[in-house]
Amino acid sequence: MICTFLCATPLIERIYAADDVFKKADALFASENYFEASIEYERVLFFSGSSEIRAMANLQKAQALKQLGAFGKARNDLQRSFHFRGDDSLRFEILYQYAFCSYMDNRSDEAFATLLQLKHAFGHFPLHRYFLLQAMVLADLQQWDDLRTHLELWITKYLDDGIFLQNKLVKYDEILSGYEKVFRMDAERARLRSTFVPGLGQIYAGEFGWGLLNGFSQLASLAAFGVMAYNGYYIASFFAGLGPWQSFYFGGIRHAGELAATNKNNRLEDLQTALSVFLLAVDAYLADN
């Protein structure tokens, strides 16, 4: 879904002669032979003496690589066109695609910096696509307050509807409110709780069942130790009672930390997904209105 909204960009209009140097590469791209198209665009770039054609070939090669999912390679190739100082619309597209590929290559810090540069240099351009991509980047960086401010600016810029804005901000706050405890969840805190109260670390991590099981297992092993020791079975009580209790105790501490770390990551991934769906819905609504 993210690629559909952010990656589908129109080809920049060309004003070259009928024997367009991009004809073969474009035909390969249109027939979905993206790897071959990327090679052909690279050939155009290598042999052309025009800086504008070279920049456009590089941009189109990046588009082909994006279709292959090679966002890192596309990002690296786009760096070659940073020196281009020709047509503003082409420069805008190069920077935007670099930011997008950086985001898709898990380099949100670079994407954020590039978007700031793009906004500063091309503030006179329509920035509708920029708003959606920056929202995605802010969500990935977990800058929740900045994202809320950005969301407010985004909506008010494209839609003069205070009720819609308020409803969307409330929805955004609802998404975040369910994860406030998750943000504070810490594996070390989970281990510390299980150190003093068996099973409490698992409950802290959001796994009530695992907490009860671990606590009950330790109580049962201690009870077995006490009963057998009381009846004079000292050796058996050590191996059948105290030994298992020690395993349950230290294993429970380790398990609580692992659960806390795993659940926190899973919840944060769920939050990212919910925010992405929400932001795409906002973008689709603004685009239609």
d(CA 265, CA 205): 11
State the sign of the Cα–Cα–Cα–Cα dihedral 129, 132, 134, 136.
negative
CA 92 to chain centre: 24
d(CA 63, CA 143): 29
Parts of the chain with a pLDDT under 70: 1-19, 125-127, 178, 180-181
d(CA 80, CA 82): 6
Which letter, b or e, does each residue of 72-98 get, where b requires 16 or more Cβ atoms within 10 Å of its Cβ? ebbbebbeebeebeeeeebbbbbbbbb
**Could you tell me the two tokens for 257?**
């930390």
Task: Output the pLDDT for position 267.
Answer: 84
Task: Output the pLDDT for position 268.
Answer: 82
State the sign of the Cα–Cα–Cα–Cα dihedral 115, 120, 122, 128.
positive
d(CA 283, CA 289): 10
pTM of the model: 0.74
Contact 131, 164 (CB under 8 A): no
Task: Output the pLDDT for position 6.
Answer: 52
Contact 37, 29 (CB under 8 A): yes
State the sign of the Cα–Cα–Cα–Cα dihedral 93, 11, 128, 65.
negative
**Could you tell me the two tokens for 1?**
């879904």
Q: What is the DSSP letter of 242?
A: I
Sequence spans of domains, the chain: 2-141, 183-270
**Could you tell me the two tokens for 195?**
């150190």
**Could you tell me the two tokens for 121?**
């240099």
Contact 61, 39 (CB under 8 A): no
Which CATH number does the domain 2-141 belong to among 1.25.40.10, 3.40.50.150, 3.30.70.60, 1.10.8.50?
A: 1.25.40.10
Task: Output the pLDDT for position 242.
Answer: 82
